[in-house]
Amino acid sequence: MTQFCELILGGARSGKSSLAEQRAVNSGLELMYVATATAGDDEMSARIAHHQQRRGAHWTLVEEPVALADALRRHQDQSRCIVVDCLTLWLSNCLQQQCWEREKAQLLEVLPGLSGHIVLVSNETGLGVVPMGELSRQFVDEAGFLHQQLAALCQQVTLTVAGLPLALKSPGEV
């Protein structure tokens, strides 16, 4: 069973990744980073490089843009804290490869049985206007449904705004 699972939500550049990394360091466990991003352009390459420099060399990096449940199953360990950054990029990758329903179901099935400390990072996309395009609406809807399902499974849920964490669910709360 998962020793501890938390979900950290926030907008772009809200500080959610830094918070996740700090919580992982504070866990005192071996550090692993599961990155779902792919460097499709120069700007994304720069974002990835920024994240890697900030983390430093004491993190083990696993790059997995689609098969997230499999990666977590393979790398789980009671002595490890795994940060998954980020779920909305993973969602985009899965929608593009038309495997979203399968991959989401696998994640939701495997997550409660994992060992160690799992920190999931995701963009909160449901605070703005309803997008005009069908794919954009599907993305926002699916992210919102995923966040609700994960929040029910995680012991801790935090919303990050302007670098400040706001506890939405603390250990022991329903």
Q: Which residues of 142-172 are buried (b: 16+ CB within 10 A; e: fewer)?
A: bbeebbeebeebbbbbbbbeeeebeeebeee
Q: Token digits for 36?
A: 């779902």
C-alpha 168: how far from chain center: 16
Contact 3, 171 (CB under 8 A): no
**From residue 24, how far is each of 5, 33, 55, 90, 132 by CA, in Å?**
11, 10, 11, 20, 38
Q: Token digits for 113?
A: 């049985």
Sequence-ordered strand ranges (E) for 11-147: 30-35, 60-63, 80-85, 117-123
Contact 92, 56 (CB under 8 A): no
Name the catalytic one among 50, 51, 58, 75: 51
User: Active site includes 58?
Assistant: no
Please list, in sequence order, all residues whose beta carbon lies within 8 angstroms of the beta carbon of residue 95, skipping any fewer than 6 positions away. Answer: 135, 138, 139, 142
Catalytic residue ranges: 51
